[in-house]
Amino acid sequence: MAEEIEWFVGIDWASQSHQVCLVDARGECLGERAVAHGGAGIEELCDWLIARTGATPEVIGVAIEMTQGPVVEALLERGFCVYGINPKQLDRFRDRFTVAGAKDDRRDAHVLADSLRTDRHAFRRLSNDGPVIVQLREWSRMTDDLQQERTRLASRMREQLWRYYPQMLELADDFAADWFLDLWNQAPTPAKAVRLRETTIERFVKTHRLRRWPWGHISSGHSVSPLPAAPASFRHRGA
């Protein structure tokens, strides 16, 4: 398969448009262009590569800094030989061409294409996965994204509570837990917390099955003298 590739393409992808460079087996640049991100733009790119080389997709190798996504899937669907590379590896190849550190999309596309021509062993050959694998990968990516967002929001909550309500921070390690959010909703300020009845706290503990705590643990935590804070120095998250 390695000997069959006759044309080499580098794609420096971005969110709005992608820079493309096409070189032949001798490293001579045969064309460059920018392609809009979208179904029509990717289809136009595929047609342009075939028209410019006069070859079939099976002998055209495409290098890109990603291993999945709509661009990769569209190229694979059309029959191109697609190769992925880690951005850190691309940095090393870039040093062959320039020592400048500034981002240059045209240069990076050229580096990708020429590096695929000379060092194909450093790239990872990509292939289309089955529908089940694609679905599992997407669910996994969504889970990771949501977990990162949850962690980010929990950190923001902690910083806000630290400013005016530090006794709340003693009650939990996970500030995004459902029971913690419910407690904060019921007692959004120290002033409201000290007015919680023991029966209310006991019912709260039972509802959320906080068996490791007696109701007095929460009650004593909220009875701590609060930090002095002006009324406008914080806002309840539900306001």
**φ and ψ at 238, to 5 degrees?**
-90, 0
The predicted-structure confidence for 13-59, as pLDDT tens digits, reads as follows 887 889 999 999 999 999 999 999 888 999 999 999 999 999 999 99
The predicted-structure confidence for 201-224, as pLDDT tens digits, reads as follows 888 888 888 866 544 555 555 555
The pLDDT value recorded for residue 94 is 84
CB 21 within 8 A of CB 112: yes
CB 15 within 8 A of CB 37: yes
Q: Is the pLDDT of residue 155 over 80?
A: yes
Distance CA 23, CA 101 (A): 24
Q: Is 62 helix (H, G, I), strand (E, B) or coil?
A: strand
Closest C-alpha among 155, 154, 167, 169 to residue 193: 167
Q: Is the pLDDT of residue 238 over 50?
A: no
CATH class held by domain 2-128 = alpha beta
Show me where the domains of the chain are located: 2-128, 133-222
The pLDDT value recorded for residue 165 is 86
